[in-house]
Chain A
């Protein structure tokens, strides 16, 4: 984070006053700190995208194919024919401005092209010019403009400054979802081979090795065993999870971020400890070793390719149903796309908790259950022995990840779980949680170092709300159910509210979980003492 301004300087510098120049006339959209490195050919070719060779967005001349205009025009046309959403969102916006200040990137940068309405206009202006009667006759008067190379640069700049979080769509009187517009825009850029490596590399990795991080099967197993050693050290209990085991009742899939780096790893340990305490008949898979799906940020075809592994593996292993870990966009894919793309999952059974007997009718078609739904049900039926005081050093607040909130509605389950495993829980202000939640600033494949300026700015609304509860209630732990959050929050908090840590919910669950035969715990999953020893202030 070398040359970043100090937090108060960054905060002071944010100005929402629009510039003098109309947005159509602002040139050079490529700003350092706000663009990610382009996708490498080796990754693009694995996914069968065009390979433009070495280039940088900062280059004057971009490596566009000869007939780039035709490619975009035809690609646009094809998508209009395939998606009613695109047509409706192109035609109905009245530019009422309701969405303008709802985007965390606009709030944090003040850049007018980060207003959702203008972001969509970047595409809409071309739509008007090329596909509407009024645009063809009235040209600029109807808000149309010609497709130029400058427009392509602008698309690249601003469709990769949208985290597809859908907050804008909550406020739009017509439900216009700028995330959908961004997704279409990114698909069009893909046709030219213009993508970012932070997305394309995970996609290519996942295609080949089964997970975004390119972790090979034997390494996956080693990592998990290593985490199990840690669990043994903390609890005295030895866990032996199985891999690719046929005939297990449940296939458990979670994002690879959960077993790759802390604090995600603590959440992963939490899952394993929970399953062990229950004696659950489950298996992990090395082939379906990724819950997340960066294909969602690439194209619907890429998303389908990566997602296909979940059902394929469930079928091969002959499990009854699938349990999914804590991840945001993973659940957007599972809830809104998986069954449609890769279903029907008629080889699976309607999920039923083997512990409580609860049948998850809400997942009767996809056959996939969210872990907080599963755990909330366990707690409700008193199946877990919990000692929430083991989390007493944490004053917890909860961040609703965008996708579970706005593309699913998973709001109460995580809260119920937290309230049962922690004694101190505080909500952030109303306009920043639940369906109005703010993105971590790094969603949709933007969690890379080179866009740190953008991430810190985009994360400001979230961080500022955390700061509020930190100051008001002494909150020192931010809980979330998303692997990207768990990677994005540590640097974000470090910058804006350094006193606050990041955790997954199942880390908190496992801290509180009293397992049969465990030794007396002296540390939490992070090997830190259960109680803050040097805390001189009297505990309330």
Chain B
């Protein structure tokens, strides 16, 4: 079995320790100010660069993957979303992909059952991915409370819903628990399913462990070690208002581990597969209408190629054509 996940796990543990020790020996400014700023910078520059780089390459051909009936004869009902011919159709298709992971929802698993090959509908990957992404999203939004003053109304509203279960004190946020759970499930999937294990490499495990690290340290701070939230907010507001500083009396080293993990994740995004968040918008098989026969698509580099013209062809075969009674241009 492929155990490359151990490298990633080890890397994340070591990185966590580095931050923990670093904060304890007085490098708070490094982990609390310098690295977060660098991470944001790397993220912004990297992200913008990547997207610009993608945009620089043209889309020579309209290569829509059609997943439904085309628009042809009036009396045949076209599949306007899965095989869109209009911008509206494309937008709906894209929204369904981005918000609901529609293609992933189709997932099946092949099984050889006796003499039959069967394809069973499986939603686990879709479910874990949806849980993961939405909880991640909610957690990010909730964190706005640390960077914006006064706290935006929607953050408060979200927290009310998120804390609905009213378990424990401070109240449990569903999103945090779901994030940890879903990430763990995605990880277990990779480690335990033989095919997943076979295709997974360190670069696949690393972000998962990192996110588990983020969620774990976050949950520990909130529910167990009870860090000083007021001081943390002082630090984060300082970062957000470009007046950074380390609060008097210091914050728990656990917080620096959390922040360091987040910084790593943010900086890691543009240089890794996590760029899928941008890539999906530009994927030519999904974001183009299948209207090629109605509307000409232009290829900016459409090459001039040497073709074998009719005249050259007739040169080759004129006599044979004449003998066979096939009309020719030159008698």
Contact = CB atoms under 8 A, between A and B. Distances in A.
Interface of A: 11, 14, 16-18, 22-23, 48, 80-88, 91-98, 100-102, 107, 112, 115, 117-118, 121, 132-134, 138, 141-143, 166, 169-177, 180, 207-210, 216-218, 221-222, 243-246, 286-287, 300-301, 304-305, 308-309, 312-313, 316, 334-337, 339-341, 343-344, 358, 360-366, 368, 373, 376-377, 380, 405-413, 416, 429, 431-432, 434-436, 460-461, 464-465, 467-468
A370 to B, nearest CB: 8
Say what secondary structure dominates the interface of chain A.
helix
16 contacts: A18-B194, A85-B285, A97-B196, A100-B195, A173-B103, A210-B313, A222-B324, A334-B293, A336-B64, A340-B61, A358-B73, A362-B71, A364-B293, A373-B72, A406-B67, A407-B66
A335 B296 CA distance: 10
A180 B63 contact: yes
Contacts of A363: 293-294
B295 interface: yes
Given A18-B194, A173-B129, A340-B298, 4 more contacts: A93-B276, A138-B203, A340-B60, A406-B66
Nearest to A96: B125
Contact of A92 (B129, B273, B294): B273
Closest 5 CB pairs of A and B: A92-B279, A409-B70, A18-B198, A218-B324, A175-B285
B294 A365 contact: yes
A180 B283 CA distance: 12
Interface stretch (B110-118, B144-152, B220-228, B241-249): B110-118
Contacts of A416: 76
A366 B293 contact: yes
A366 B292 contact: yes
Contacts, number: 317
B128 to A, nearest CB: 10
Contact of A170 (B65, B70, B119): B65
A171 B125 contact: no
A360 B72 contact: yes
Interface string B288-321: 0010111111110111011111100110110011
Nearest to A410: B70
Contacts of B78: 409
B313 A97 contact: no
A173 B326 CA distance: 53
B67 A435 contact: yes
A133 B108 CA distance: 35
B204 to A, nearest CB: 5
Contact of B62 (A80, A287, A305, A340): A340
Contacts of A243: 326-327
Given A358-B73, A365-B293, A84 B59 contact: yes
B66 A173 contact: no
Contact of A218 (B70, B107, B112, B320): B320
Contacts of A413: 72-73, 76
B67 to A, nearest CB: 4
A329 B78 CA distance: 22
B171 interface: no
Nearest to B59: A84
Contacts of B218: none
Contacts of B110: 16, 101, 107, 461
A261 B66 CA distance: 31
B194 A17 contact: yes
A173 B324 contact: no
Nearest to A464: B117
B184 interface: no
Interface of B: 2, 7, 50, 53-73, 75-79, 82-83, 97, 101, 103-104, 106-110, 112, 115-117, 119, 125, 129, 193-204, 271-276, 279-280, 282-286, 290, 292-299, 301-303, 305-310, 313-314, 316-317, 320-321, 323-328
A464 B276 CA distance: 35
A169 B297 CA distance: 22
Contact of B293 (A308, A339, A461): A339
Given A91-B275, A305-B305, A411 B68 contact: yes
A366 B296 CA distance: 8
A119 B306 CA distance: 32
B183 to A, nearest CB: 13
A309 B305 CA distance: 12
A221 B296 contact: no
Contact of A96 (B104, B297, B302, B325): B104
Given A11-B115, A96-B104, A217-B326, A287 B310 contact: yes
Given A304-B305, A412-B69, A173 B97 contact: yes
Contact of A173 (B61, B280, B301): B280
Contact of A174 (B55, B279, B290): B279
A496 B284 CA distance: 37
Contacts of B296: 339-340, 343-344, 365
A169 B65 CA distance: 7
Contacts of B62: 336, 340
B50 A405 contact: no
Contact of B106 (A121, A132, A170, A406): A170
Contacts of A468: 116
A362 B284 contact: no
Given A170-B106, A171-B103, A177-B65, A95 B204 contact: yes
A245 B325 CA distance: 11
B57 A301 contact: no
A171 B107 contact: yes
A336 B292 contact: yes
A217 B317 contact: yes
B101 A305 contact: no
A368 B294 CA distance: 10
Contacts of B65: 166, 169-170, 175, 177, 406-407
